[in-house]
Amino acid sequence: GAVCRQASGACWAFLGEKMRQILFGIYPPGEQWRPTVVCLFILAMTVFSLSPRQWRARTAALWIVGLAAGLLLMQGGVFGLARVPTSSWGGLPITLLLAVCALGAGLPLGVLLALGRRGSLPTARFISIGVIELIRGLPLVSLLFMASIVLPIMLPAGMTIDSLLRAGIALTVFSAAYLAEVIRGGLQAIPPGQAEASRALGLSWWQMTRLVVLPQ
């Protein structure tokens, strides 16, 4: 406190003292090497994935396996690691994990919503439009509030859903709604002649979408 009062600018002494708490929350100090490993993996994979040459199925599989292993490492309870509940997770690791998982899970969901909105099935189009417009019309903080506060109140007695899972679902749905509009804009930019040529070659709608439309 005395050091901060003597300083004329930012209180760097406080930041230095609380740096571990800022980065890792209340994660046990003796186990903070585990979230450190997870953060380094995410940062390394992000740099690795920046190259278009790495946009392959094996990279996606490496992400999935790595994140699953990271979550298991953070939670513990295996291989002699102390179990740490998700309520003790915080700081940079939880931010990176939620961001990557929400974007990774939101992308395929966003593709489905975009295809449903542009599709010819009235039911799928109605549901897709409703989900996209409803989610995009709500602030993210309100979705997180409902997932964290409102949903547990509405659940039956004795039924609980992990708070980290609730936040992850809210972020995933939010990301999917915005990604769906980005993807829909890209689909609209594809010349109609390509779809006509695909049908002329005898491709089904799914084959045309998977082999011709989505790769672009």
Residue 3 pLDDT exceeds 70: no
Q: Would the pTM count as exceeding 0.85?
A: no
Question: Which contacts qualify for 198-207: CB closer than 8 Å, 24 or more apart?
Answer: none
Whole-number pLDDT of residue 8 = 63
Domain boundaries, the chain: 1-84, 105-216
Residue 9 pLDDT exceeds 80: no
Q: What is the DSSP string of 29-61?
A: GGGTHHHHHHHHHHHHHHHHHTSGGG-SHHHHH
Per-residue confidence band for 80, with pLDDT thresholds at 50, 70 and 90? confident
Query: Is the CATH code 1.10.3720.10 the one for domain 105-216?
Result: yes
Q: Model confidence over 115-168: pLDDT tens digits?
A: 888 877 888 889 999 999 999 998 989 988 988 888 888 888 878 888 888 899
Q: How far apart are CA 147 and CA 139, in angstroms?
A: 13
